Amino acid sequence: MTDRRDSYYLKAKRENFRSRAVYKLKEIEDKFRIVRDGDFVLEVGASPGGWTQYLTSIEGVRVVSVDIAPHDPVENSVSIRRDIFSADIFELISEAAGLIGGGKFNAVLSDAMSNTSGNHSRDHASSYLICDRVMTISMEFLSPGGNVLVKHFQGDMTKDLIDKWSPKFRGHKVTTPKASRSGSREIYIIFFNLMSKPL
């Protein structure tokens, strides 16, 4: 049987995408349509830029991306090289949004994850903190009606994470794309339609 990792990896090479992760986003997009034509998108954990390539291929979409790691520029996007936990991240995102002609964003997408240690509790805790930070950033920058997608490594605090943030949105879904590596605890949580005032 062909190893799925190899097939997605080779497909990405063939189709000139910088990462196999792009097929996870494609699958999620085909199913849930998180991003629409003309949207301003904030992307967290963007390097090497596969998701950015895909997002900017959608008609009129402009992206501000954030990552600790550098990556080659992608047209119609502005990248910020910074840890999302740094104190000046709000200011930097605000400045970058201005550069692409926006203020608020229609969607926030995060594929961010620190290097996994193999220790599930540690990886889950680290993922919880990243997701929680992405949600805090989203509360500052997401327009009412906007959507958030976050990658998350499941564990005992996953329910707390969803319970904490879902009341601010009209709905949420959890999904695992086929392109996620088999046996991994990776899920993607989508929060749909930010309410202007929580119920």
Residues 124-143 touching ligand SAM, rule: CB under 6 A, are: 130
151 given a catalytic annotation = yes
Closest among 199, 175, 194 to 186, alpha carbons compared: 175
Smallest separation, CB 192 to ligand SAM (Å):
20
Catalytic residue among 11, 151, 164, 178: 151
The reply to whether 102 sits near ligand SAM by the rule CB under 6 A is: no
The binder of ligand SAM chosen from 9, 26, 36, 68 (CB under 6 A): 68
- Of residues 40 and 51, the one with the C-beta less far from ligand SAM: 51
Query: What is the closest distance, in whole angstroms, from the C-beta atom of residue 48 to ligand SAM in the complex?
Result: 5
Q: How far is the CB of 82 from ligand SAM (least distance, A)?
A: 7
Instruction: Tell me: does residue 186 bind ligand SAM (CB under 6 A).
Output: no
Contact between 47 and ligand SAM by CB under 6 A: the answer reads yes
- The rounded distance, in Å, linking the Cα atoms of 181 and 8 is 10
111 close to 130: Cβ distance less than 8 angstroms: no
- Select from 3-11, 66-74, 96-104, 158-166 the region that touches ligand SAM (CB under 6 A): 66-74
Return the number of the residue (10 or 195) whose C-beta is nearest ligand SAM.
Answer: 10
> Annotated active-site positions, please?
151
Residues that bind ligand SAM (CB under 6 A): 18-19, 21-22, 45-51, 66-69, 83-85, 111-114, 130
